[in-house]
Amino acid sequence: MGDRLTIEVRRNIENLWHLISFDKKSIVGLAIILFLILLDFFAGYIAPYHPEELFELFVSPNNVYLMGTDQIGRDVFSRLLHGTRVSLIFGFGAGMVALIVGITVGSMAGYYGGFLDDLLSRTIEMFLMIPSLFLVILAVALFGTNMYVSMICVGLTVWPSNAKIMRAQVLSIKNQEYVMSARLIGASDFRILVRHIIPNAIAPVIANATLLVGSAILTEAALSFLGLGDLNNPSWGQMLHYAQYYIGAWWMALFPGLFITVTIVAFNFLGSGLNIALNPKLRLILGKREELFV
Amino acid sequence: MQKYILKRLLQLLPTVLVIVIVTWGLIRLAPGDPALALAGEMATPEMIEALRITYGLNKPLQEQLRIYLTKVFQGDLGYSLTYGIPVLRIIIMRLPATLLLMISANVVSFGIGVPLGAYLGSKYPSKRDSAISIVALVSYSVPIFFSGLLLITIFGFYLRWFPMAGMVSMLIKKEGWNHVVDVLWHATLPILTLSIVFLPQYLLVTRAGVIEIMQKDFIKTARYLGLRERSIYYKHALRNTLISVVTLLGIRLSLSLTGAIMTETVFAWPGMGKLLYDAILARDYPLLSGLFLVSAMLVVVMSLITDIIIGFLDPQVRFG
* Residue-range domain boundaries for chain A: 22-292
Q: Are B90 and B275 in contact (CB under 8 A)?
A: yes
Distance from chain centroid for Cα A186? 38
Q: Are B151 and B193 in contact (CB under 8 A)?
A: yes
Taking only residues 99 to 128 of chain A, the set having a beta carbon closer than 8 angstroms to any beta carbon of chain B reads 122, 125-126
Please answer yes or no on whether A226 and B26 come within 8 Å at the CB atom: no
The whole-model pTM stands at 0.87
Kindly report, residue by residue over B185-224, the tens digit of the pLDDT. 889 999 999 999 999 999 988 888 888 787 778 888 888 8
DSSP classification of residue B72: H
Kindly report, residue by residue over B241-268, the tens digit of the pLDDT. 888 888 888 888 877 777 788 899 999 9
Q: Which residue has the higher pLDDT, A276 or A149?
A: A149
Q: Are B206 and B124 in contact (CB under 8 A)?
A: no
Kindly report, residue by residue over B122-148, the tens digit of the pLDDT. 887 788 888 888 899 899 899 999 999
- Distance from C-alpha of B206 to C-alpha of B244, rounded to nearest angstrom: 7
Chain A residues near residue B205 by CB distance under 8 angstroms: 284, 286-287
Architecture of domain A22-292: Orthogonal Bundle (1.10)
User: Nearest Cα to B204, choosing from B269, B291, B272, B114?
Assistant: B114
Which pLDDT belongs to residue A229? 85
How far are the Cα atoms of A101, A207, A233, B193 from residue A214, in angstroms, in the given order? 18, 11, 20, 20
How many residues in total does chain B contain? Answer: 320
Query: Model ipTM?
Result: 0.85
- Distance from C-alpha of A139 to C-alpha of B288, rounded to nearest angstrom: 11
Bridge partners (DSSP) of residue A69 are: A75
Share of chain A above pLDDT 70, in %: 93
Please answer yes or no on whether B261 and A260 come within 8 Å at the CB atom: no
Which pLDDT belongs to residue B284? 80
Taking only residues 142 to 201 of chain B, the set having a beta carbon closer than 8 angstroms to any beta carbon of chain A reads 142-146, 149-150, 152-153, 156-157, 164, 197, 201
The radius of gyration of chain A's CA atoms, rounded to the nearest angstrom, is 22
Q: Which residue has the higher pLDDT, B319 or A239?
A: A239
Chain A residues near residue B201 by CB distance under 8 angstroms: 286-287, 292
Q: Return all residues near A263 (Cβ < 8 A) that are at least 6 apart.
A: A32, A33, A36, A87, A91, A214, A217
Kindly report, residue by residue over A30-72, the tens digit of the pLDDT. 999 999 999 999 988 988 888 888 888 888 888 888 888 888 8
Please answer yes or no on whether B257 and A225 come within 8 Å at the CB atom: no
A23-28 contact pairs (CB < 8 A, 24+): A23/A272, A23/A273, A23/A274, A23/A276, A23/A277, A24/A273, A25/A269, A25/A270, A25/A272, A25/A273, A25/A276, A25/B134, A25/B137, A26/A269, A26/A270, A26/A273, A26/A274, A26/A277, A27/A273, A28/A266, A28/A269
